[in-house]
């Protein structure tokens, strides 16, 4: 790239191709919501793991490492997807890895000693419609149906603390349901209710 007398590249010295190349790089960085390097620095470089208890089936997963050395582990994801399935229909759906990453980040942030208790993970459209018929708090197009949301609590951690940790991460939606004793998290836009 052309440089000025100080050795610095300047916009006025760049040709059209170099300017387009620089613009594409800036666009990529700005439009990628959470690039891999940012996720690594946020969660740590070595590994990500989760401990979960499905409150409806009693199934447990203890310290399942689902990401290590820069890659998600397919067998671990399969096990997590199974535990987070729709327990009413037994339907398994892929859970968005960003949702898993959010849970792992929350666990690390509050220094969790026990597994997350899962109230709801994936929901089939049929289950979601049925729940909507019984509660005004169930969204018509719930992120649960896309595998992007989980309702949970963490024994030993007050619900307010769990909510605060999720909000501070600013990685997705956070819903607070103290009367039902859970926090909703999802990997969609940052928002809270």
pTM comes to 0.76
10 plus 81 within the same structural domain: no
pLDDT at 120: 97
Per residue in 103-155, pLDDT tens? 999 999 999 999 999 999 999 999 998 888 777 678 888 999 999 999 999 99
107 plus 179 within the same structural domain: yes
91 plus 184 within the same structural domain: yes
Give Cα separations from 116 to 1, 140, 147 (angstroms).
52, 26, 17
70 plus 115 within the same structural domain: yes
24 plus 66 within the same structural domain: no
Per residue in 35-59, pLDDT tens? 443 444 455 558 999 999 999 999 9
51 plus 8 within the same structural domain: no
Contact 95, 149 (CB under 8 A): no
CA dihedral 70, 73, 170, 135 (to 10 degrees): 170
Task: Tell me which residue of 137, 176, 185 sits closest to 158, measured CA to CA.
Answer: 176
Give Cα separations from 98 to 35, 47, 61 (angstroms).
11, 14, 19
Q: Which domain holds residue 106?
A: 36-192
Give Cα separations from 186 to 25, 48, 62 (angstroms).
29, 18, 22
pLDDT at 46: 82
161 plus 91 within the same structural domain: yes
Number of independent structural domains in the chain: 2
């Amino acid at each position: 790239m052309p440089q000025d007398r100080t050795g610095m590249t300047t916009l006025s010295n760049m040709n059209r191709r170099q300017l387009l190349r620089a613009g594409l790089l800036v666009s990529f960085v700005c439009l990628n919501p959470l690039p891999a390097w940012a996720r690594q620095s946020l969660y740590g470089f070595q590994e990500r793991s989760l401990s979960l208890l499905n409150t409806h089936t009693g199934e447990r997963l203890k310290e399942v490492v689902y990401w290590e050395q820069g890659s998600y582990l397919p067998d671990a994801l399969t096990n997590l997807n199974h535990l987070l399935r729709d327990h009413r229909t037994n339907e398994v759906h892929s859970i968005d890895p960003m949702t898993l990453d959010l849970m792992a980040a929350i666990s690390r942030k509050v220094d969790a000693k026990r597994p997350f208790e899962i109230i709801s993970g994936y929901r089939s459209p049929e289950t979601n419609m049925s729940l909507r018929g019984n509660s005004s708090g169930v969204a018509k197009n719930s992120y649960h149906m896309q595998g992007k949301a989980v309702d949970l609590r963490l024994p030993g951690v007050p619900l307010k603390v769990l909510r605060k940790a999720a909000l501070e991460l600013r990685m997705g939606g956070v819903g607070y349901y103290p009367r039902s004793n859970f926090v909703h998290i999802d990997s969609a836009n940052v928002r809270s209710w």
